[in-house]
Amino acid sequence: TYLQLGLGQQVGVYVFIPATGFVILSLLRKKINAPRPYEEWDIKPLLDRDSPGQSMPSRHVFSATIISMTCLHASLTVGFI
């Protein structure tokens, strides 16, 4: 079966660790609650948001980093691309 081949361990590496990091990041964002640039400066936002703050750390940057590191771990060639 797949679990005998070690797939169960790989699922933990590729799903649960990034998901745990994403949850920790979300909690950290709520704790820091950094204002968005348009909230501090006189800038009209491109998109209206209902909730203020929670702009840092960026979930987009975190997601891109996690995806690239996961690809690098899975395949050195794919990771470098």
Q: How many CA atoms lie within 13 A of 73 on its CB side?
A: 14
**pLDDT band for position 1 (cuts 50, 70, 90):** very low
Phi, psi at 58, each rounded to 5°: -75, 130
pLDDT exceeds cutoff 80 at 23: yes
Query: For 34-66, what is each residue's pLDDT tens digit?
Result: 888 888 888 887 878 777 778 888 889 999 999
Which pLDDT value is given to residue 28? 93
Say whether pTM exceeds 0.85: no
Q: Report the distance separating Cα 49 and Cα 40, nearest Å.
A: 15
Residue 51 to residues 16, 20, 35, 66, 69, Cα–Cα distance (Å): 28, 24, 10, 26, 31
Q: Report the distance separating Cα 52 and Cα 55, nearest Å.
A: 9
